[in-house]
Amino acid sequence: MTARGSRDLLGPSTRRAVEAVLAGVPPEDAGAAGDTNGAAMRVAPVGVATPPDDLEALVDEVRRASHVTHNTSLALAGAAAVAAAVSAGVAGASVPTAINVGIAAARLGARHGRWVAGADVAARLQWAAGLMKDSEPAAAADVIYTLVGTSLAAQESVPAAFAVLSAVPDDPWRACLLAASLGGDCDTIAAMAGAIAGACHGLTAFPPHAVATVDAHGFALTALADSLWALRQS
């Protein structure tokens, strides 16, 4: 990434971990300070590839995928929540059901990694999702930004994504647009909300122009999704 001039795309936890590994720190120790949302942002493939039937096993896969950079209780709780919600969506769950599965996984994820002080991720997920039940969708962005928070902190941005999903559970594209408009680390929040909503509703729920824009960048996401689905079936 440095050679390509893209090193600035790394979040603070990942950057610290990479530097630590390059300096000789064992990979199992490099993520001991990683408490931000990078693991949750990139964990969706684990959810696609792993069924939700055994949450303990799914959370262990999340830990294996994340611990080099984000080996803390906060980060792993957030990553487990996103992966489990995606996994449930792929299995046919609605958005509200996927949210509940994610909350349960967050409780399990918090038992792993180095404990760090911070608000309980599972409790904040439940609160943030419930907060939207009393809010008009038009006011959702202000409520999420002001009360839930949109920073790099896993205990803010992951609950923000779940709040977005609770505000617009039936429209994945609108969820992405709402998340992207929040301010703060809104691209990460949109990535998490979009992954979960997409898993629940499928590709056809997104407008063709949005899908075409992604395809035009040559990411080969359809082939990647097929390969992850094959892992899930194996």
pLDDT truncated to tens, each residue of the chain (234 aa)? 556 555 566 788 888 888 888 898 898 888 888 899 999 999 999 999 999 999 999 999 999 999 999 999 999 999 999 999 999 999 999 999 999 999 999 999 999 999 999 999 999 999 999 998 877 777 899 999 999 999 999 999 999 999 999 999 999 999 999 999 999 999 999 999 999 999 999 999 999 999 888 888 888 888 888 899 998 988
Is 1 contained in some domain? no
pTM above 0.95, yes or no: no
Rounded to 10 degrees, what is the CA torsion of 129, 131, 137, 142? -110
Return the beta strands (E) in the chain as ranges.
none
Is 46 contained in some domain? yes
Is 3 contained in some domain? no
Structure tokens at 139: 């006011």
What is the DSSP secondary structure assignment for residue 23, as one 8-state letter? T
Is 4 contained in some domain? no
> 88, 69 in Cβ contact below 8 A?
no
Longest CA pairwise span in the chain (Å) = 51
What is the domain-level CATH number for residue 102? Answer: 1.10.4080.10
Dist CA 190 CA 209 (whole Å): 17
What is the DSSP secondary structure assignment for residue 25, as one 8-state letter? -
Is 148 contained in some domain? yes
Is 2 contained in some domain? no
Is 168 contained in some domain? yes
Number of domains in the chain: 1
- Range of 143's domain? 10-233
